[in-house]
Amino acid sequence: MSFFQGLNSISDDNWIINGLLYTALSVGVLKLTSIFLNSASLLFDLFVLPPVNFSKYGAKSGKWAIITGASDGLGKEYAIQLASKGLNVFLISRTQSKLELLATEIETKYKVEVKILAIDFASDKPSNYELITQLIKPLPVTVLINNVGQSHSIPVPFIETEESELRNIITINNTATLRTTQIIVPFIINTLKENRGTRGLILTMGSFGGLLPTPYLATYSGSKAFLQSWSSALAGELAEYNIDVELVISYLVTSAMSKIKRTSLTIPNPKNFVKSVLSTVGRRGGAQERYATSTPFWSHAIIHYAIENTVGVYSKIANKLNLSFHKDIRKRALKKAARLAAEKKE
């Protein structure tokens, strides 16, 4: 190789190295810019932007919201807070007596119309869906809250999950949610055709159990992960009809399902959680990387955002931590059950 050929070779190598350096620098700048913008959006969503005005969803104009799993916990709060905004509410749940009490409370306090339907979604009877169809047919519906859901009684290995529990989780969390939505969407579309300028809204309850694959809650985790993909896909389909579709992700909330009674910075009560949901509809909160998804409660949002931007929700580290956490919960639950059984014998 001649002297000049050697110079040309060095020059070529430098060009390649410089190109790689500039590419790496550009990617780094883009990544940092993305993190900065997402972080700013997170803070604005949670702490700066004003609450959403539900007049765009037909509040105070005679429109109806349908809430499943409406007699307790989050469902009850959705009913109360939507009624307080001026929407009539149609409450669907399993227990007639609880529905009647809640209906009386809402009618008396908020002066809106209330209808109730007591059905057990776990039964998966076609007659349940026929009843829903018949009862909502005359109503101008604009809002659907898919809140009905079921988890495991305690954390349990998948192979030890009772068949009845497995079937109930899938039937309630998935089949019931899909069939109810499939029935109600055409009614929302018809309402919007007759009320130009009004939008529709479908909120479906997700969970950190679906956000992160969760050992010892495998069936529940899978059912909620399914709702993530389904809800995002539905959002794409219904956008042209002016229907906003959103999956709402929550960490723990005090409720009968979670069996937690005390609130904390990371565990709100149903009232405060639902307030955060309805105040931030259409904003992503902690779910900055996900379409048609929101993690609205401030501490849940920060936890979600931190996990997503560090180890990642599908990482081995997150999976192992989740496994250890739920193994410990199962151990304590079994110990408590054994103690209670022993006390009964005495």
Give CA–CA dist 221/313, Å, rounded: 13
52-333 classified as CATH 3.40.50.720: yes
pLDDT of 254 strictly over 50: yes
Give CA–CA dist 25/22, Å, rounded: 5
49 band by pLDDT with thresholds 50, 70 and 90? very high
Give CA–CA dist 190/43, Å, rounded: 37
158-163 average pLDDT score:
98
Beta bridge partners of 247: 204, 293
Give CA–CA dist 274/297, Å, rounded: 9
Residues belonging to the active site: 220
110-134 average pLDDT score:
97
Using an 8 Å Cβ cutoff, are 249 and 300 in contact? yes
Structure confidence by residue, pLDDT tens digits, 256-286? 878 888 999 999 999 999 999 999 999 999 9
Lowest pLDDT segment from 18-22, 88-92, 313-317, 321-325: 18-22
131-154 average pLDDT score:
97
The reported pLDDT for the residue numbered 3 is 43
The answer on whether 61 is annotated among ligand-binding residues is no
134 versus 22: the higher-pLDDT residue is 134
Structure confidence by residue, pLDDT tens digits, 281-312? 999 999 999 999 999 999 999 999 999 999 99
Structure confidence by residue, pLDDT tens digits, 84-102? 999 999 999 999 999 999 9
174-187 average pLDDT score:
98
Using an 8 Å Cβ cutoff, are 281 and 203 in contact? yes
Domain positions in the chain are 52-333
Distances (CA, A) of 99 to 72, 92, 102, 184, 205: 9, 8, 5, 20, 20
And the tokens for 270?
């149903």
Q: How many CB atoms lie within 10 A of CB 256?
A: 9
Of 33, 31, 52, give the one whose Cα is nearest residue 294. Answer: 52
The reported pLDDT for the residue numbered 10 is 47
Distances (CA, A) of 127 to 52, 124, 131, 134: 36, 9, 6, 10
